[in-house]
Structure formats: C-alpha cells, structure tokens
Amino acid sequence: MQTTRIKVGGAALNQTPLDWSGNQAHILQAIHQAQQDSVSILCLPELCISGYGCEDAFHSEGVSEMAFQMLLKIIPHTKDIAVAIGLPIYSNQVVYNAIAWVCDGSLKGLVAKQFLAGQDLYYETRWFKPWPRQKVQPFINRQQIIPLGDLIFDLAGIRVGFEICEDAWVADRPAGRLAAQGVDIILNASASHFAFDQLRTRRKIVEEGARSTNTVYIYSNLLGCEAGRIIYDGTVLIASGNQGMLAESCRFSFHDFVLTTAEVDLGINRLQRRKNIHYQPTGEPTENVITCPFTWDNLSASLSSKEKNHRLFQQENLSHFEEFTRAVTLGLWDYLRKSCSQGFVVSISGGADSATVAVLIYLMVELALKELGWKSFTQKLKYLSWLPDKEKWDISQLMSHLLLTVYQASNHSSETTYNAAKQLCASIHARFLQFNISDVVTSYTAWLEEVVERPLSWEQDDLALQNIQARARGPSVWLLANTYGALLLSTSNRSEAAVGYATMDGDTCGGLSPIAGIDKAFILRWLKWMETEGAFSVGPLPILKLITAQEPTAELRPLDSKQSDEEDLMPYPVLDAIERLAIRDRKMPLQVWKDLQLQFSNSQPYTTEQLALFVERFFQLWSRNQWKRERYAPSFHLDDENLDPKTWCRFPILSGGFSEELKQLHAALENEA
C-alpha cells in the first residue's frame, strides 16, 4: 500500500539581500534540522537565496546567475528530502520570481510565480515578469536543461504543487487547478510584510486553501528586518483539509531560522475528495507533471503520542501592543547587526517619543537574551568591539554600552523633562549624558541679529527661534554617534510626519526612524500599557509614569508660554482620524469634515467650526510638508497606513494644496451656520 502518512515542514529564514554566504548558511541550517527531524518535504520562503529586497539589483543578470550558483551548492545537502527554495531566474532575457524544487540531491524543476505583487510596498512588476498559466519551457544553464514554468511534481505517487505568495491572494488562485490535477500538497513560499492583524488574513488563506482543495497546505514566510524597512514576522502555517490548522510557528524570533513541522495523513484528504460531489479531476498527467523518484519512510510509528501532541497547532494571538513591541525590537536587532553599528544613540528629551525608542532598545536586549541565551546572543553580535570574549555580562552592563542617551537642555527645558529622562535611562541602564545648548543657540541668534540689524523676538520670529534650538542639537548628537560608531535614531512619529511638526536637521537627525510608521495616539497608549502591564516575559516599567503624566510638548518656547503639541496642532486623536480619512481613505476635505462630525459627535465636545479648522489645518500642513517626509530617515512598516513616500504613500512635493476643495468646505460651513 502506498505511504500516505508523511512528515512535512516549513522554515522561516532571516535573510539579507545579496548576502550570499549568510543566506546559504541559514538555508543549510534549516535543511539539516529538517533532515534530523525526519521531514520529507520542506518549504522555504520566497527568494530566500538572493533575499527578497534586492530592488533594482534584480535587473542584473549577475544576481540571478549568482543565485543559481548558490543553489547548485545547496543541492548536494538535500539527501532524502525534497525542498522548495526561492530564487530569481534569468531566462529568455527576463527575470522570473521562481521556486527551485530540489529532490534527494537533484534539481527537478523551476516553478515561476504567476501573479506578481505590484501595489503598496511591492514592486515585483518592476523587476519580474508573470508566468503564463500552464506554460512550460526548458531552462538552460551550463548544459543543464531544466523544466521551467507552471509545474507539478509527482514524488512516487504523492503530488506537490505551488502557490507563491501573491498567487494565493488573488481571486483566481492556482490552488483549485492544482487539486483538480491530483495535487496532495500545496507549498506557498512567501515574503509577506508584517502589519497589524495580517496573521488573521494569512490563517484564512491557508485554512481555506487546504479546506477547499482537500490538500495539505504549507506556508513559509521570511523573518526579521531583511532590507531595512519591511519587517517579516516569520510565520509558518501548516493546514490540512477539513482538519484545519495543524501547526503554527512562534513569530518574531531572534534566531536565524525557525522550523515548524507536522505529521500529515494524505489518505484523509483523498477520501474527502472521493466523497465530494463537486470534485472534478482533470484526467491523466500532462506535460507539466514532473516525475521525481523518491523513497517514502512510513512515519506513522516514528513519533510518540506525546511528541505528536507537542507538535500540534498552538495558536498565538498577540495584542497590537505586543505585536508592536515584538516587531520593532526585532527590527532594531536586525538593523543593528546588519549595519554593523556599535550601538545606538538617542537624543532623549524626557517626552513620549524618545522614551518609546529608548524603552524599545531595552526590550530588544531583554527579549533577545531570553530567547537566545548569552552564547548565541554574543555570537550574533561578535563584531562589537566592546563585547567581552569570555565574561558573561548582565543586562545593565550590556545596556550601558549598547545605548547612549543625551539630554540637551536649552533655556526652555524644564526640570520635569530632565528628571523624567534621567530616571528613565537609569531604570533601563542606558548611559546618560547631559549638556546645555543655550550658548550655541545664543551665538547663532547673535550672529543673525547682527546680519539683519535687529533683535529677534518671539512675537516676530517664533518659528525661527524654535527651530534653531532643535537644529543646534543636531551636530552634537551626530558627533556622539560618529565618535562611538553608533547608529543615531530619530524619534519622529507618524502624526508629526503627516503635518510636518518636526525640525529638519534637528529632531529628524538619524539613520533610522523606528517609530515614524506609527501614530502618536498609539504611542501614548503603548507607553501606558508598558507602565502598567508590560511586554510578555518582561513585565511593566512603572518608571514610565514620569512620561505618561506629562502633556506632550516640544519645549521650544519660553516655559511661561506653556507650549503643548496639541495646542500647536490639534488633539492627536482628531489628527490621526483626519489622517486616516484623508490619506488612507483618500477623502476630500468636505467629506472628511462630515465624517469627523459623526465620529466625534458624542465622545468629544468639538464644534463644527473647530472640526472644520482642524481639517483645513491638516490639509494645508500635509501639502506644505511633503518635502519633509521625503527626507525622513528610513522607518519600519508597522501597519497599512504608512506615510513613507518611498514605499507606500506618494504625493507631489509641489501642489495646489487643496485650495479649491477647502473653499467647498468653507462654503458648506457657512451654509450650515
């Protein structure tokens, strides 16, 4: 009788674009671990040999050639296992996003992606060509002739087919056709970005793919911050027919790879197909079915019942606060080591944004140490010049070297923010420096007063006097970062980016802006959560009460002016609501105003005139400050409401500023009055 019980697996990999040796090492580690775990079929992520984020380097023939040469080095390590490995393939003068099917030490075929991702974060249509359905052609490389195209593989009676990432997200997904050709197992090699609630959608796609086709469905995603902006959560999902989800990986791992396995019974799915009156097989094998000799081991008795139960599906449901914490800490970890920085520098203000960035670095160290242990932790950071060779440090020693903070006071800084910054840094063991920029600011203003032949005043020169303080802090903090070989982090958030509430070359200084993809209202709620509940396995940080008790302020005007961010702009919940309506939903000022009236009709006492003023202010500031968003440091993508003009939200630097649309808003307001 033919074997129907087999062991399958998927591996999430933390790869880096064009890091050929590093990517190969992670692939081999995953394959070797799968072999040790008696896995017969292994699915690896999309473009895992080259890295997904190679961008325009995919246009180079050399990149595809190097990827294929790395594949040839991997193939000898696939004894007694069949592996799906993603790579770019150059054929007939174009590049395809492909999967190499390697079976027991032999390359059997190349499957090309049919539906390319071409919206929002994705630009696959810029680099690759989609593969036509049912087409197969030879791929020739150094006298090797390999079938390339829309292929199915028959491994001694067990058929395997593919959906490559976007293939599964379209209405006419290949899964139905594969099932009609007798496919037992569908592999989905993916590179799908992290965003809040994205896991829920992936689960539905995988479970429905398995249920509707009565197949085993294996989904493998990338892991970590691969190329600088996108964070991959490392999801691996294995589902089967009407049994539903069988296995799911833990996400946001600090390891180089995560292997997830499940034992599946293909006979159950075949029985369900026979019983399904709607199942219509397409008949005998066609030219797109490749026969692969393979020896199956009967694994029905290979695992004890205890081990089987241990490997069963355990669903991980994280709150948005926990997801944010895990995603950004993993992103910071990868950015640190992949950029070979000696640590981080943060200009700490005692306010919410810089506190958030500093705490996330502390959580990064805590979470990485807990998962990896000291030996693996130091191995991954072995390039650090200050890390001890043999001595085992505690987190306070690590943090004092890894995070350098500096509080740069002006004449308008308060004791409240100074004490908050100093005590927070002491609580998370960060090194804390302080100095006063007043003399620097005075020298700049005195020089300008001499040039313009008049004194500068807050009544006449408010913006200039505010900005010079923020800019005076920039050179000093850059000097610190350069001196220590550290990565300077900007602390701007998405709400400020939307309206340009930032000083270019001042508080925007940095090589990475880790929270520029998240709004201020969320950050304030996250800080309160960290103060009272805290991240899993770390716990709360009560010291954050010093931050959450404050009203957000830039502290750039004299203290007696009682400057606050929301007075300068508008209430953050309103600002964020307008941003979503105007930018995410693409609504014009009049409709945004009408929607706001419904949204805030009961919760806040805003008049229609106030709401109209907020809408007008937003659209004007949004239009004027696109140039600032173009100059922001790279930021992490955390939800699908990003404002990054390089990867998500494009807008002209010069525009009419919605002047006609705002006239319509004013007319509607007058009619209502």
Task: Report CA dihedral (84, 86, 88, 94) to the nearest 10 degrees.
Answer: 60
Look over the chain and give the mean of its residue pLDDT values, rounded to a whole number: 92
Q: pLDDT by residue (tens digit) across 137-168?
A: 999 887 789 999 999 999 999 999 999 999 99
Domain residues of the chain, as ranges?
Answer: 7-308, 327-553, 569-673
User: Strand 216-220 to strand 236-240: parallel, antiparallel, or no bridges (unpaired)?
Assistant: antiparallel
Whether pLDDT at 306 is above 50: no
Secondary structure (3-state) at 74: helix
Q: pLDDT by residue (tens digit) across 331-368?
A: 999 999 999 999 999 999 999 999 999 999 999 999 99
Q: pLDDT by residue (tens digit) across 535-567?
A: 999 999 999 999 999 988 777 778 777 788 788
Instruction: Enter the DSSP assignment of 639.
Output: S
Average pLDDT over residues 638-653: 92
* Prediction pTM value: 0.94
Residue 344 in contact with residue 486, Cβ under 8 Å? yes
User: Among residues of the chain, what percentage have pLDDT more than 70?
Assistant: 95
Record the tokens describing residue 381, joined without a space. 């950071």
Residue 437 in contact with residue 410, Cβ under 8 Å? yes
Question: How many Å apart are CA 253 and CA 506, to the nearest integer?
Answer: 34
Residue 32 in contact with residue 283, Cβ under 8 Å? no
Sign of torsion, CA 274 275 279 280?
positive
Q: pLDDT by residue (tens digit) across 158-214?
A: 999 999 999 999 999 999 999 999 999 999 999 999 999 999 999 999 999 999 999
At 298 the pLDDT is 47
Q: Which residue has the tokens 């197969």?
A: 136
Whether pLDDT at 508 is above 90: yes
At 652 the pLDDT is 96
At 305 the pLDDT is 34
Q: pLDDT by residue (tens digit) across 263-277?
A: 999 999 988 888 876
Whether pLDDT at 135 is above 80: yes
What fold is seen in the domain 327-553? Rossmann fold (3.40.50)
| Close Cβ partners of 325 (under 8 Å, ≥ 6 residues apart) | 360, 363, 526, 535
Question: How many Å apart are CA 174 and CA 171, to the nearest integer?
Answer: 9
Q: pLDDT by residue (tens digit) across 221-243?
A: 999 999 999 999 999 999 999 79
Average pLDDT over residues 480-488: 97
Which is higher by pLDDT, 510 or 279?
510
Q: pLDDT by residue (tens digit) across 28-43?
A: 999 999 999 999 999 9
Reduced to 3 DSSP states, what percent helix, strand and coil does the chain have, rounded to the nearest 5?
45, 20, 40
Average pLDDT over residues 373-392: 94
Sign of torsion, CA 53 54 59 61?
negative
- CA dist 128 → 59, 101, 648 (Å): 9, 19, 20
Q: How confident is the model at residue 640 (pLDDT cuts 50, 70, 90)?
A: confident
Q: pLDDT by residue (tens digit) across 48-107?
A: 999 999 999 999 999 999 999 999 999 999 999 999 999 999 999 999 999 999 999 999
At 100 the pLDDT is 98
Whether pLDDT at 598 is above 60: yes
At 283 the pLDDT is 60
| Close Cβ partners of 304 (under 8 Å, ≥ 6 residues apart) | none
Print burial letters for 98-114: b (CB count within 10 Å at least 16), e (below 16).
bbbbbbbeebbbbbbbb
Question: How many Å apart are CA 517 and CA 515, to the nearest integer?
Answer: 5
Record the tokens describing residue 416, joined without a space. 């409240």
Residue 401 in contact with residue 355, Cβ under 8 Å? no
Question: How many Å apart are CA 87 and CA 146, to the nearest integer?
Answer: 15
Residue 526 in contact with residue 321, Cβ under 8 Å? yes
Residue 406 in contact with residue 480, Cβ under 8 Å? yes
Print burial letters for 342-355: b (CB count within 10 Å at least 16), e (below 16).
bbbbbbbbbbbbbb
- Count of CB atoms situated within 10 Å of the CB of 38: 17
At 453 the pLDDT is 94
Instruction: Enter the DSSP assignment of 227.
Output: S
At 315 the pLDDT is 59
Question: How many Å apart are CA 655 and CA 85, to the nearest integer?
Answer: 46
Provide the β-strand partners of residue 85.
100
At 231 the pLDDT is 98
- Count of CB atoms situated within 10 Å of the CB of 217: 29
Please tell me the CATH code under which domain 569-673 is placed. 1.10.10.1140
Residue 403 in contact with residue 361, Cβ under 8 Å? yes
**Hey, which CATH number is domain 7-308, 3.60.110.10, 3.40.47.10, 3.40.50.800, 3.40.50.1220?**
3.60.110.10
Burial class (CB in 10 A: 0-12, 13-18, 19+), 270: middle
Q: What would the 3-class secondary structure string for 237-251 be?
A: EEEEHHHEEEEECCC
Instruction: Enter the DSSP assignment of 120.
Output: T
Q: How confident is the model at residue 2 (pLDDT cuts 50, 70, 90)?
A: low
Question: How many Å apart are CA 520 and CA 497, to the nearest integer?
Answer: 10
Question: How many Å apart are CA 414 and CA 619, to the nearest integer?
Answer: 33
Whether pLDDT at 1 is above 60: no
Task: Report CA dihedral (48, 53, 57, 61) to the nearest 10 degrees.
Answer: 20
Burial class (CB in 10 A: 0-12, 13-18, 19+), 661: middle
At 565 the pLDDT is 79
Q: How confident is the model at residue 310 (pLDDT cuts 50, 70, 90)?
A: very low
Question: How many Å apart are CA 629 and CA 645, to the nearest integer?
Answer: 7
